[in-house]
Chain A
């Protein structure tokens, strides 16, 4: 890729494969994701401070059982992807792929549950712009706007994470990810854990704080 003047090349080249650099890059990217959601958490905090009663009332509309179920699904998927990194480090490609597929499956389960939750709310007219939403008392509409915006953005991250995991599975199958070169699996894991972490906060803030 890089043509060097004959007989000389620099020791620290940007074109070397550097697993540590990739990992650091991923962490830095996670920080930006964290602050992206952070901005939304600030909005949530302020509006909850300004409209405590409406937020309380609106939160009763959400289904705690489904929320808890999804939390458990995400936590388990976090474990399976962490285990798949262990497997690839030990050189057990088959087990790694199996665990990655499990993670992908759990991501699908999460999205299906989310779909049913959302469509129930939309059916009740609670989506921004629908009739019931327009007539909600002040504060409650803010709650639902934030609910859809934040869980929607989170679901988008689940979808992106799922695509990344699918890529990792493909590349592991082709042998491009292996015992000596597993940065991709590690970074996919880091991303997936971040998605999990955000849900860890979203869950109590929307479903539990009665």
Chain B
């Protein structure tokens, strides 16, 4: 490979996340997991609430993973935008499909 020109790479600064940050992220994720399990196991009679909260908490967890573990916080903003567009697209698919099934 000809490695003479590296004009993209020179100007790009890298951010290094600390070990502590990763550990705190894990703690937050574990806490959220415990909350979902607790709601599901002990609050079984609040069924509709538990579906909604479980998905909500899962979404929060996924955002945490993407933001800290996957470096979206420190990366170029374009990645965040792309992730958001993909998320909007997928949610639109599910909403459009479920409109159909809830109006049969």
0/1 string, A115-151, CB within 8 A of B gives 1: 0000000000000000000000000000000000000
Given A82-B69, A193-B69, is A204 in contact with B55 using a C-beta cutoff of 8 Å?
Answer: yes
Instruction: Provide the main secondary structure of the chain B interface.
Output: helix
Q: B14, B33, B47 — which one has the most chain A CB atoms within 10 A of its CB?
A: B33
Contact A4–B2 (Cβ < 8 Å): yes
Q: Of the candidates A13, A15, A17, A31, which one forms a contact with B86 in the assembled complex, judged by CB atoms under 8 Å apart?
A: A31
Contact A208–B40 (Cβ < 8 Å): yes
Instruction: Provide the main secondary structure of the chain A interface.
Output: helix
Taken together as a complex, chains A and B put the C-alpha atoms of A210 and B4 apart, in Å, by: 60
A5 adjacent to chain B (CB < 8 Å): no
Interface size of A by CB at 8 A reads 55
Chain B residues with CB below 8 A from A15, complex form = 1-2
A interface, CB within 8 angstroms of B: 1-2, 4, 9, 11-13, 15-21, 24, 27, 31, 34-35, 38, 41-42, 45-46, 49-50, 56, 64, 68, 71-72, 75-76, 78-79, 82-83, 85-86, 89-90, 189-190, 193, 196-197, 200-201, 203-205, 207-210
17 A-B pairs with CB atoms under 8 Å apart are A9-B2, A9-B5, A12-B7, A17-B3, A17-B9, A46-B101, A72-B33, A76-B26, A79-B26, A82-B17, A82-B25, A82-B69, A85-B17, A204-B36, A204-B55, A204-B57, A208-B36
